[in-house]
Amino acid sequence: MSPDDICKEIEFKVVELLKTRLSDETMTEDRSKIISKIVLDLLQPGMNITDLYKSIMQLDDVCPELSPIVLPFAKQYEETVTKKATTTVQDYIRVGKYDAAIDLAKKVASQNMELSSVSSN
């Protein structure tokens, strides 16, 4: 699934959530407008996958109402990065690249890395 496809899927789910919450009166129209603006500001077409997932994490931080929508995407990203990074760290250790293994492990722990930079060597 491309980053643009993920954006569209999240946007669709957000619209459905907002419609439901507005119709059952568990959300105000003002809050709905605020959430809509935040989603549109954070999820931009053409984002790379890493920036997209960082934006998804921000959605959850600023709009807790969106947790049921964004948490599955956040979990998927975390599992993907962790799995790739673990394999790469193991490969680095096997070939004696200890500094590279430590550096990568630190980046994963701090969530400060590009998804595309995690590759098996």
For every residue of 19-53, DSSP letters joined together read HHHHHTTSS-HHHHHHHHHHHHHHS-TT--HHHHH
Least confident of 30-39, 53-62, 77-86, 97-106: 77-86
DSSP state of 76: H
- What is the pTM for the complete model shown? 0.71
Where helices occur in 1-121 by DSSP H, the ranges are 3-23, 29-42, 49-62, 67-94, 98-110
Q: Does position 50 have pLDDT exceeding 60, yes or no?
A: yes
Q: Does position 119 have pLDDT exceeding 60, yes or no?
A: no
